[in-house]
Amino acid sequence: MIADTHIYAHSKRVVPPPVLDLFRRAQVGLILHLGDVNSAWVLEELAQLAPLLAVAGNNDDDELQDRLPATLRFSVGRHTFGAIHGDGGRSAKDQVRRAFGGKVDLAFFGHSHIPFLDEHKGTVLFNPGSATDRRWHEHFGVGIVKVTAEAIDPELILFTQPDHLTNIRFGADNHSSPEKNERAARDDTHIDCDRSTP
């Protein structure tokens, strides 16, 4: 999971290669971008690693606003998830609580650039922060969520320098084949999109 990359067409900013490598090494079966992508090519780059879902952010251009939903609801096995950028209200936390609190197992959001992992009304709320633009926080961040039939295990990965991500190791449970992960994402995921703002 990644959010608030803010990579504009003519900027020098890119998704840090160690972030892409982290997703590769984790053998993620699905990538979720939580808005403020700003350039469609970023989504194309991420989609080369795994199937991709994304929501629109308030800074995304008209093309991305038209192409991406404001919210997503999806399921993996018996677990339910929601995603929203988080703009349009008093705070991103308030927006995600209102949209998904008590309604899904895990709700993802962005907008604030502040990493956050907590629970509200039985729903885990997860904001990875930003992998490229930490603004008011000392760390950059991304997220990895391990989903099994029994449980959801969200992990917030914070870093001050992208090269620090090479120190992250994944256990034997994460060493399944990429083909198996892709099949699980396709065969066990149900997605509903909402283009309206909640």
* 98: CATH: 3.60.21.10
Q: Residue 167 domain-assigned?
A: yes
In a domain, 47, yes or no: yes
**Residue 11 belongs to a domain:** no
User: Residue 178 has what pLDDT?
Assistant: 38
Q: What is the pLDDT of residue 189?
A: 52
pLDDT in tens, the chain (198 residues): 999 999 998 889 999 999 999 999 999 999 999 999 999 999 999 999 999 999 999 999 999 999 999 999 999 999 999 999 999 888 999 999 999 999 999 999 999 999 999 999 999 999 999 999 988 789 999 999 999 999 999 999 999 999 999 999 887 544 443 333 333 333 455 555 554 544
Long-range contact list for 193-197, CB < 8 A, 24+ apart? 193/69, 193/71, 193/72, 193/73, 194/69, 194/70, 194/71, 194/72, 194/73, 195/69, 195/70, 196/70, 197/70, 197/71, 197/88
C-beta separation of 18 from 163 below 8 A: yes
Residue 108 inside a domain? The answer is yes
Q: How many domains does the chain have?
A: 1
pLDDT of residue 185: 37
pLDDT of residue 181: 34
pTM: 0.87
Helix (H, G, I), strand (E, B) or coil at 139: coil
Q: What are the C-alpha distances in Å from 26 to residues 125, 128, 146, 171?
A: 22, 16, 10, 9
Which secondary structure element, helix H or strand E, spans residue 182, and what is its range?
A: helix 178-187
In a domain, 68, yes or no: yes
Domain that holds residue 114: 17-194
**DSSP-derived 3-state class of residue 62:** helix
Both tokens of residue 58? 């308030």
Pull the structure tokens for residue 9: 């067409």
